[in-house]
Amino acid sequence: MIFSKAETFIRKKMQRHQLENLKATAERVYHLVPFYKRKFEECGVNPDSIQTLCDIRKLPFTKKQDLRDNYPYGLFSVCMDQIVRIHSSSGTTGKPTVVGYTEKDMDIWSEVMGRILRMGGVVSSDILHNAIGYGLFTGGLGFHEAAQRMKVTVIPSSTGFTSRQLLLMKDFKPTIINTTPSFALHMAETAIKEGYDLHKDFNLRVGFFGAEPASQGLKDEIKDIWGIPFHEVYGLSEIIGPGVAGSCNHSNKLHINEDHFYAEIIDPETLEPVEEGERGELVLTTITKQGLPIIRYRTGDITSLDYTPCRCGRTTVKMESVVGRCDDMLIVSGVNIFPSQIEHILANIEGITLNYQIVVEKKGHLDRLELDVEINDDIMSDSIKDLNHLKKEIQKELLNHLYLNAQVKLVQANSIERSQGKAVRIIDKRK
């Protein structure tokens, strides 16, 4: 079931649509947002510089810092009376970034989220347990509004209160769940501890997960433990929130809603485009948004693009699941690694859980990586000798597959703090 015609446009038609809308967006920001007028002039370009899609490369990049520097509303291209919704990042590492939506932007958001829900087969008779943060975070309300417009019943359970959430899930019988992968795992652990049978006591038939990277190992574990398909959702507030891309039933990759968000991949060092299919930093341009149009936003997310048509019938470009963020990449003794690669190795080792934390410290000129991993409840009573053997096995696998020399510490079950939303995987003591 496909939600909208644009998802099956032939490439030429998509490109015509993209060029037309890119030109309109360049006009819009140049004339209505002083920040962009200045940036365009610094690069020696104006809206007429856009004659083909490749000309997008002439335009300046936008970074998170630009939103902070223009806090709160400096990048909006409409008067505040046209803004019907504000969302914002938490601002724990600086000023928050503020994003605003006009009524038309809200329609676009519901449209792109609707497409993703439909990829998982969601219909009006479904009941959505929306276990993701409500409030200034875009996760909760992004799903909520789209699902409600599809006449789905929404349970706005948000995060936290895990035992109560499980009770609601047993009694209200939701068919769909949306949460972060780490909270899905935490809910499963709690459900098992509280004596629920995950396959029999609940009525779930499909899950939507996103907002943080998840290795294939973690995805498989969530699928198995809950007994439901794993649909991945990608998005970021600066672009719209959840709804930029989502996975269908036929591919692990995520269809980008590219009639609204134009995607490029660049080398984060040289800022030049990479070869088609190569990994690099995802750069997104909104081409239909009114309130906060963004040109060439450097997401910091590492992925690759795949233009081959999908068996599901959609023709939109697909992105690989995000491998990690440029700023989460660890360089340990010259080896570049993302936490999701470590997670993938852990997923294939018996006796441990996927609750882990990476502690990075500086030792002289070198980075030292300690990996704290929770062991399974049932092996807690095993002898020190067995635990040492397990520790050595993890170290060996990390060395063999990632060339990573890590200090592994096995810690007791439930000793690593669970997050209600996005998991904190790295404690970087170098900063």
Comparison of 112 and 132: residue with beta carbon closer to ligand DLL: 132
Q: Is 212 in the site for ligand DLL (CB under 6 A)?
A: yes
* # binding residues, ligand DLL (CB under 6 A): 21
Q: Is 235 in the site for ligand DLL (CB under 6 A)?
A: yes
Piece in contact with ligand DLL (CB under 6 A), picked from 206-214, 258-266, 304-312, 347-355: 206-214
Q: Is 211 in the site for ligand DLL (CB under 6 A)?
A: yes
Piece in contact with ligand DLL (CB under 6 A), picked from 25-33, 155-163, 210-218, 363-371: 210-218
User: Which contiguous run of DSSP H or E holds residue 32?
Assistant: helix 11-32
Cβ proximity of 230 and 139 under 8 Å? no
Rounded to the nearest whole angstrom, what is the least distance from the CB of residue 150 to ligand DLL in the complex?
17
| Extended beta strands in 48-104, E state | 83-88, 98-102
Tokens standing for residue 275: 């070869």
Query: How many whole angstroms separate alpha carbon 210 and alpha carbon 214?
Result: 8
Query: How many whole angstroms separate alpha carbon 431 and alpha carbon 419?
Result: 22
Edge-to-edge order in the sheet of strand 297-303 = 261-266, 280-286, 297-303, 324-325
Rounded to the nearest whole angstrom, what is the least distance from the CB of residue 89 to ligand DLL in the complex?
6
Rounded to the nearest whole angstrom, what is the least distance from the CB of residue 349 to ligand DLL in the complex?
23
Taking CB under 6 A as the criterion, the residue among 175, 237, 315, 341 binding ligand DLL is 237
Tokens standing for residue 37: 């007028």
Taking CB under 6 A as the criterion, the residue among 26, 131, 236, 310 binding ligand DLL is 236
Residue type, 96: P
Query: Residue with structure tokens 């002289």?
Result: 364
Tokens standing for residue 233: 């959702």
Query: How many whole angstroms separate alpha carbon 176 and alpha carbon 196?
Result: 18
Comparison of 138 and 355: residue with beta carbon closer to ligand DLL: 138
Piece in contact with ligand DLL (CB under 6 A), picked from 43-51, 208-216, 362-370, 407-415: 208-216
3-state class (DSSP) for residue 267: coil
CB atoms within 10 A of CB 410: 18
Query: How many whole angstroms separate alpha carbon 68 and alpha carbon 48?
Result: 28
Binding mask 132-171 for ligand DLL (x = CB under 6 A): x----xxx--------------------------------
Query: How many whole angstroms separate alpha carbon 25 and alpha carbon 46?
Result: 12
Comparison of 174 and 246: residue with beta carbon closer to ligand DLL: 246
Piece in contact with ligand DLL (CB under 6 A), picked from 4-12, 102-110, 229-237, 390-398: 229-237
Q: Is 299 in the site for ligand DLL (CB under 6 A)?
A: yes
Query: How many whole angstroms separate alpha carbon 312 and alpha carbon 209?
Result: 20
Comparison of 29 and 256: residue with beta carbon closer to ligand DLL: 256
Comparison of 13 and 418: residue with beta carbon closer to ligand DLL: 418
- Residues near ligand DLL (CB under 6 A) are 89, 132, 137-139, 210-213, 232-237, 241-242, 299, 301, 322, 325
